[in-house]
Structure 1
Amino acid sequence: MRWENVHVAGVGVYLPEEVQTAEQAVAEGRYDATAAAVNGVRAVRVAGPGETGPVMAAEAGRQALARSGHAPQDIDLVLHACTSHQGRDLWTPAHFVQREVLGTHASAAIELRQGCNGVLSGLELAASWAASRPGSGAALVTCGDAWHLPYVDRWTSDDQTVFGDGGSAVVLSARGGFARLLATVSRSDASLEPLYRGMGPWDETPFPDGKPVRLGDRPGEWLLRDKVAYDDVLATVAGNFDETLRQVLEESGTGLHDARWFVHASMIRPIAEWGFGKRLGLDPARTTYEWSLDFGHVGSSDQLMGINHLAETGRLSPGDRVITVGAGTGFMWTAAVLEIEHTPDWP
């Protein structure tokens, strides 16, 4: 979808103070030394007591709102994306974020469960909202995740990911901002849904055995069903990603190598180097990937964290185009293209 009058007005990020390094985790016997060397993640932030996902999302939301120039009463929609436990069972964290950031104002507050594609899928939904209500104000998209034992082991629950804690937020507006949202595209392919469900029996309650979730074991259960399953999955993933990216570039009138920045999720080095460096021919200097290895995979906050980093370090100039892409289990892919209108003056 090409957007004509949707702007990124403000971005916010909240990161806990505690830093845990991969070197520490190896020394404590919590992380395999070979995996640490291959995967490349240097450190993560660790949420402290009371720093739940919604709390961190609200902190980021207040920062994004302050930077946006909008008042709380301008925000008509709150979308809160999350993947990890949000601090309470049978509860609606989106309304906590709404209350903490805006008070009681907003037409709707909705929780998004789209895995690691939550924020970018929320960006597209919020753009639809802002574009269809051009006189009503703006939309707030937040994300917050904290990964704690015994539910999740941030170092070993998924052998393709190291999880870090934090929150992020973005304000979209029809009134203006530091960047224009040129286009967004999403694709969903439910043929891959069993990949992270696995083939085991259903759980009747959350966290049934009290042991850390083993996300990395589930794909193997499904991929072993026949000899060609692995190759088929790789082809399906690559095909959907390629088509999503092709379409968003076409709709935004952007060439892949004409964009100044390409911001993707923080994943382990072998996947990033193969999936983005080699397949797309991307120069790592055009990405925020190396910087992100000090934070790990922060749910679906990685892309906003990367854009926020570029803004805070003065690396965004008028006319720059930024491509950002995401993928979430299920599977769903979203890509977006921004054009910088002015350099944000953020500390």
Structure 2
Amino acid sequence: MRFDAPVHLSAPVQVLGEHAQPVSDALAGLLIDEVNAERYAYTALRTSTLAPVRLAALAARKSLESSGVSPERIGQLLHAWTYHQGHEFWSPAHYLAQQVGAVAAEPVGIQQMCNGGAAALVQAACRLLAAPAASPALVTTADCFPQPGFDRWGGDYGVCYGDGATSVLVDRAPHGRSVRLLSAATVAAPVLEGMHRGDAPFSPAPTSGFKTLLPKLAKKEFLTANPTLPFGPIAHDAVTSVVARALRDAGVAADDERLRAAALPRLARHVMAEAYEPAFGEVCAAPIVRLGADTGHLGAGDAVANLSDLLDRDDVRPGDLLVLLSAGAGFTWSAAIVEVNRP
């Protein structure tokens, strides 16, 4: 999808959990073993005692303050998440709109697991192009993975989870620290949806808090039941096709000298080095910046957190192109090409 009309992502903010749990403490507490600690290469995970929506509200206020856009001007607030937001039967997006004073906004919840942040950005951008009179949108994400409901260090394969929230303003005009969205592409593989469902029967009510969520058990059950399903090739093809499509739609060559940096999901180091980075490198020459070793995977927030971190780099300048790659259970992969604006 090419965005010929201007769409800008402004004031990207990440608010991480207020505590950092170093891997040394996780090893001492037997939360992760030495083999996986070395393979995963996380140095720490961020943790919070706050509800995730509280972190999202902090991030949203920072975006609004930094951009100079008043909350009353926000026409839509899209909130994405993967895990429990603090209540079972409610709308966290409406909570956030009320908390930040976005009284005229349409609050919308986005559920696409860890690709939710990227999906929300595209939805917000398309709305601006479809409705010339539409006001700016605010996109937020938030996830926290506390015990005993979630095993952040050892409950999954190839990823450890950190607590944090993100926010970014989506508008036709730039507002301070910003990028222009040139293109976005998405590829899905619903054949893999069972990887996060496994063999467990459908439950009549949420089980959060009654047992520890262990995604790796569902993955093991799914792969055992589907031994010939080529997960690796499916993921490889998804990454190469989604990045190549985003570059093509943006009119950017794979080796364009303006490609300054690329950021990928905050997964374990060995997953990135063995799977994601080689696939990405086949179709794009942008240097990959490894992010998240000191935060963990931020659920739906990786894409915006990565954008914020890239814009903080000294070697990123106006006119540079950045590549953002996002992925989430289901599975869905999204890629976006953005151009850094002048302050």
TM-score when normalising by structure 2: 0.93
Q: 1:6 to 1:66 in 2, by over 3 A?
A: same
SS in 2 for 1:292: coil
SS in 2 for 1:244: helix
Equivalent residues in 2 for 1:286-305, closer than 5 Å: 286-289=287-290, 291-305=291-305
What is the aligned residue count?
Answer: 337
1:226-274 superposed Cα distances (whole Å, 9 cap, x missing partner): 5422xx2222222222221111110001233431110111100111112
**Contact 2:184-2:335 at 8 Å conserved across structures:** yes
Q: Paired residue for 2:161?
A: 163
Amino acid at match of 1:62: R
SS in 2 for 1:301: helix
Q: Paired residue for 2:91?
A: 92
**Contact 1:162-1:267 at 8 Å conserved across structures:** yes
Amino acid at match of 2:72: Q
Q: 1:74 to 1:34 in 2, by over 3 A?
A: same
Q: Is 1:199 aligned with 2:199?
A: yes
Shift of residue 26 of structure 1? 0.5
Q: 1:146 to 1:226 in 2, by over 3 A?
A: closer
What fraction of aligned residue pairs are identical, expressed as a percent? 28
**Contact 1:151-1:207 at 8 Å conserved across structures:** no
SS in 1 for 2:114: helix
Shift of residue 146 of structure 1? 0.8
Counterpart among 112, 123, 126 of residue 125 in structure 1: 123
Amino acid at match of 1:27: A
Aligned equivalents of 2:238 and 2:56: distance in 1?
A: 30
Shift of residue 285 of structure 1? 9.4
Equivalent residues in 2 for 1:244-255, closer than 5 Å: 244-255=242-253
Aligned equivalents of 2:285 and 2:29: distance in 1?
A: 32
Shift of residue 308 of structure 1? 1.0
SS in 1 for 2:95: helix
Q: Paired residue for 1:225?
A: 225
Range moving further from structure 2, 263-272 or 302-311: 302-311
Q: 1:222 to 1:172 in 2, by over 3 A?
A: same
SS in 1 for 2:212: coil
Shift of residue 284 of structure 1? 11
1:16-59 superposed Cα distances (whole Å, 9 cap, x missing partner): 221101111101122212110111011011102xx111111111
Give unpaired runs (5+ residues) of structure 1.
none
**Contact 1:326-1:333 at 8 Å conserved across structures:** yes
Range moving further from structure 2, 249-258 or 82-91: 249-258
Q: Is 1:38 aligned with 2:54?
A: no
SS in 2 for 1:168: strand
Aligned equivalents of 1:309 and 1:134: distance in 2?
A: 31
Amino acid at match of 2:145: W
Range moving further from structure 2, 89-98 or 189-198: 189-198
Aligned equivalents of 1:142 and 1:328: distance in 2?
A: 16
Q: 1:203 to 1:284 in 2, by over 3 A?
A: farther
Aligned equivalents of 1:170 and 1:82: distance in 2?
A: 15
Q: Paired residue for 1:76?
A: 75
**Contact 1:134-1:174 at 8 Å conserved across structures:** no
SS in 1 for 2:139: strand
**Contact 2:149-2:208 at 8 Å conserved across structures:** no
Amino acid at match of 1:19: A
**Contact 1:288-1:306 at 8 Å conserved across structures:** no
User: Over aligned residues, Cα RMSD in angstroms?
Assistant: 2.0
Aligned equivalents of 2:77 and 2:300: distance in 1?
A: 16
Give unpaired runs (5+ residues) of structure 2.
none
**Contact 2:17-2:162 at 8 Å conserved across structures:** no
Shift of residue 279 of structure 1? 2.9
